[in-house]
Amino acid sequence: MRLALIAAGLLVLPMAQGCTGATHVADSYAYGAGALNLDPWATRPRPSRSPVAEPAPVTHAAPVKAPQHAEPQPQVRAQPVPVQKEHAHLETARAEPTQREPVRSEPPPRVVAAPIAESPRPPPEPTKPAIDPPREQQPLVGSTRTEADLRGIQRVESASALLGTPGLQDRAFVAHVLRAAGQDLEVDRNRPYAPALYELLQKRGLLVSAGVALPGDLIFFKNTADLNSNGRPDDGVTLVGVVERIDGSRIVLIAQRAGKVRRLAVDASRPELVRDARGEVVNTRLVRWPGSEGPLTAGQCLSGFARP
């Protein structure tokens, strides 16, 4: 009977304590049974083991009663939780649209182009002096128009330089003017100079009309001297001069007259007029013939022009 109770205890305790507790309890009670010589293995030496704490006694829980129907409790409505200020501020910000300030568009940065190195410019060409248009005139024999103009200027300058020189005859005066222009005309020395020069230029075709006369041309007059000593105006060409300038129909010339080199005036369109309304000499008086009413003017004695 006593052995039956011990065996029953060994079976009940492990079931109440669980698997872990049953292992420890079985070993404890196994050693106890060996002490009673009930286990054939009780004679084994007992291994040294650390003491195991006693399990806590099993406490049986009280039986659970079936739930009874409880009386319905009054429903309590949940009060709204007050919103904190930060949440209210966020809600207001979500509800109302935010007015944003207009975005100011900044002007684009100004790009300053780097100066381009200019290529050196060529120096300006020298301005050519204006050339006067050629004057209408007859073609020259043996020379060009440019050479004739240049010689005419040289003749005028040489004649102007001799103004007021006394004692020169027309031969010496005209020969000096021609040489200054690079010209040397051989004239028969056994004849008077003016008629011999006129015939020479006429033979060479160098006579020009009064309408195309230019400064530097030679101008000839007739019947200004009694070369044949008969007292009548029938001597032909007797005087030669150099044209200095032309003012319309009036021509100013330089010639040897009354013992020295002088300025004279002639206007073939008004041969008998000596002075105009302003007192300017239009035609110079050249000679007075015996038995004539008055002296002959340059316009009355004009014979022609030549361009050597």
CATH number for position 286:
3.90.1720
Q: How far is CA 103 from CA 99, 100, 106, 107, in A?
A: 12, 8, 9, 12
Give CA 303 to chain center in angstroms: 65
pLDDT at 242: 98
Write the pLDDT tens digit of every residue in 119-148: 566 666 655 444 444 444 444 444 456 788
Is residue 270 domain-resident? Answer: yes
Write the pLDDT tens digit of every residue in 213-267: 999 999 999 999 999 999 999 999 999 999 999 999 999 999 999 899 999 999 9
Is residue 245 domain-resident? Answer: yes
Secondary structure (3-state) at 11: helix
pLDDT at 136: 44
pLDDT bucket at 154, cuts 50 / 70 / 90: very high
Is 39 a residue whose pLDDT tops 70? Answer: no
Indicate the number of domains in the chain. 2
Range of the domain at 15: 2-41
Report the chain's terminal Cα–Cα distance, integer Å.
193
Is residue 223 domain-resident? Answer: yes
pTM for the full predicted model: 0.54
Is 115 a residue whose pLDDT tops 50? Answer: yes
Is residue 37 domain-resident? Answer: yes
Residue among 207, 278, 220 nearest 247 (CA): 278
Q: Are 35 and 156 contained in the same domain?
A: no
CA pair distance 266, 242, nearest whole angstrom: 12
Assigned token pair, 118: 């200019």
Mean pLDDT computed over 84-110: 55
Is residue 276 domain-resident? Answer: yes
Q: What is the CA radius of gyration of the chain?
A: 79
8 A C-beta contact, residue 174 and residue 193: yes
pLDDT at 29: 42
Is residue 294 domain-resident? Answer: yes
List CB contacts of 212: < 8 A, sequence separation 6 or more.
Answer: 136, 137, 138
Q: Are 36 and 150 contained in the same domain?
A: no
Is residue 200 domain-resident? Answer: yes
Is residue 98 domain-resident? Answer: no
8 A C-beta contact, residue 218 and residue 240: yes
* Phi, psi for residue 19 in degrees, rounded to 5: -65, -45
237-247 and 250-257 as β-strands: parallel, antiparallel, unpaired? antiparallel
pLDDT at 103: 58
Secondary structure (3-state) at 197: helix
296-297 and 207-208 as β-strands: parallel, antiparallel, unpaired? unpaired
Maximum CA extent, the chain: 223
Residue among 196, 216, 218 nearest 207 (CA): 218
Q: Are 177 and 33 contained in the same domain?
A: no
8 A C-beta contact, residue 146 and residue 210: no
- For residues 3 and 268, which has the higher predicted lDDT (pLDDT)? 268
Residue among 140, 119, 117 nearest 201 (CA): 140
Lowest mean pLDDT of 37-41, 176-180, 280-284, 299-303, name the range.
37-41
Q: Are 290 and 177 contained in the same domain?
A: yes
8 A C-beta contact, residue 299 and residue 144: no
